[in-house]
């Protein structure tokens, strides 16, 4: 066993260093750990031809199936279960989950010593039988302490979020943090991500550069959050930042303001408390922020990802930025 300082000094290569004084967790780092393995999302997808009933005048056998041209459509399915995931066009090229997982590992390994990179914890979230995959990589060894307005503290751990929608939208990689006091995923804004479409020329190169940049810039992210945590705010300012953003419904604004009142009690009446209320809405499926129909179908992760996009726009708005100007 070795502590954080000795783990860093033992290697001569440049790496990101979060001083022990900035970390709430002073326990030794387990140097025997390895980067997490992909488990539930470790499946591959494939495309197969589609068929339709031949109803042409030249049909020989009634009900005969004929292939649909590939440029019109193909069936996307899992190779392990043969579960159909959707229909894709001719230009679509699937991106395997493992390709993205390995890209995250390379980015972490390129920026962090093994003793730190291997502390990463992976959560795999899957909806629609694997059509929607979300991978959350949290690293508690890469963290910063946040002093809050009411004198309490919390800790922000670095996180990378990967979303792969098989048969749908682009692959997306987002940088974030996790507030350890409530497990809120602290997204940074609508432009803090890297994305690429499912095309023949797909590459993870830009995504890896983005992740490495965010690892090296994590200290600046913590500095901004510390400023928010010590910046007072009024209830009226908080309400206007939500209602005038144009990205939330009246009901959503009301629920977030109710959450804001609770955050104020726990953290102080600050911009940080408003941020915590917003990210609570985008992170949790609970009585206040219930994901519709989630008790019947597995739609939670995908629905929360959409909320996350809403909150990212609110956080990135001019109104929100003025609160701590």
User: Is 128 found in the same domain as 236?
Assistant: no
What pLDDT is stored for residue 21 in this prediction?
45
Residue 228 has pLDDT above 80, yes or no: yes
User: Is 314 found in the same domain as 235?
Assistant: yes
Residue 163 has pLDDT above 50, yes or no: yes
User: Is 19 found in the same domain as 111?
Assistant: yes
318: number of Cβ within 10 Å: 10
197: number of Cβ within 10 Å: 13
168-183 residue pLDDT tens: 879 999 999 999 999 9
User: Is 251 found in the same domain as 173?
Assistant: no
Average per-residue pLDDT in the chain? Answer: 90
User: Is 292 found in the same domain as 218?
Assistant: no
Three state DSSP letters for 186-230? EECCCCCEEEECCCCCCCCHHHHHHHHHHHHCHHHHHHHHHHHHC
Section 17-37 average pLDDT: 63
What pLDDT is stored for residue 190 in this prediction?
82
Chosen domain end from 190, 225, 260:
225
Determine contact, residues 120/36, Cβ cutoff 8 Å: yes
User: Is 168 found in the same domain as 21?
Assistant: yes
What pLDDT is stored for residue 324 in this prediction?
84
What total number of domains does the chain contain? 3
User: Is 272 found in the same domain as 154?
Assistant: no
Residue 123 has pLDDT above 50, yes or no: yes
Structural domain of residue 264, as residue ranges? Answer: 227-323
What pLDDT is stored for residue 55 in this prediction?
83
Chosen domain end from 225, 256, 285:
225
What pLDDT is stored for residue 94 in this prediction?
95
Residue 282 has pLDDT above 60, yes or no: yes
Per-residue pLDDT band for 54 (boundaries 50, 70, 90) equals confident
Chosen domain end from 208, 225, 242:
225
User: Is 56 found in the same domain as 20?
Assistant: no
What pLDDT is stored for residue 29 in this prediction?
62
User: Is 50 found in the same domain as 37?
Assistant: no
Residue 113 has pLDDT above 70, yes or no: yes
User: Is 139 found in the same domain as 24?
Assistant: yes
User: Is 284 found in the same domain as 213?
Assistant: no
User: Is 166 found in the same domain as 35?
Assistant: yes
- List, in sequence order, the alpha helices (H) in the chain: 4-9, 97-111, 114-117, 205-216, 218-229, 235-243, 250-267, 271-283, 300-315, 318-323
- What backbone torsions phi and psi does residue 284 show, to the nearest 5 degrees? -115, 145
């Amino acid at each position: 066993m070795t502590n954080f300082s000795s783990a860093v000094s033992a290697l001569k290569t440049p790496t990101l260093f979060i001083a022990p004084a900035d970390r709430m967790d002073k326990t030794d780092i387990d140097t025997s750990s390895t980067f997490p393995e992909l488990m539930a999302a470790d499946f591959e997808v494939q495309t197969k031809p589609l068929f339709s009933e031949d109803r042409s005048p030249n049909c020989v056998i009634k009900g005969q199936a004929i292939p649909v041209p590939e440029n019109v459509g193909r069936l996307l399915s899992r190779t392990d279960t043969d579960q159909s995931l959707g229909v894709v066009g001719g230009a679509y090229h699937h991106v395997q989950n493992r390709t993205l997982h390995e890209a995250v590992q390379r980015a972490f390994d390129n920026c962090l010593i093994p003793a730190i990179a291997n502390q990463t914890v992976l959560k795999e979230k899957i909806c629609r039988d694997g059509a929607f995959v979300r991978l959350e990589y949290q690293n508690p060894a890469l963290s910063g302490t946040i002093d809050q307005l009411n004198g309490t503290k919390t800790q922000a751990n670095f996180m990378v979020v990967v979303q792969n929608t098989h048969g749908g939208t682009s692959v997306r990689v987002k940088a974030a943090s996790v507030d350890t006091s409530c497990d809120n995923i602290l997204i940074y804004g609508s432009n803090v991500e890297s994305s690429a479409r499912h095309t023949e020329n797909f590459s993870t190169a830009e995504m890896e550069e983005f992740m490495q940049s965010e690892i090296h810039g994590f200290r600046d992210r913590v500095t901004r959050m510390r400023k928010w945590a010590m910046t007072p705010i009024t209830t009226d300012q908080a309400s206007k930042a939500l209602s005038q953003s144009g990205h939330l419904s009246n009901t959503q604004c009301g629920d977030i303001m109710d959450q804001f009142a609770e955050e104020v009690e726990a953290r102080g009446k600050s911009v940080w408390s408003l941020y915590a209320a917003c990210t609570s809405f985008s992170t949790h499926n609970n009585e206040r922020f219930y994901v519709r129909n989630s008790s019947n179908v597995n739609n939670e992760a995908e629905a929360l990802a959409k909320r996350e996009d809403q909150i990212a726009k609110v956080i990135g708005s001019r109104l929100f930025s003025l609160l701590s100007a």
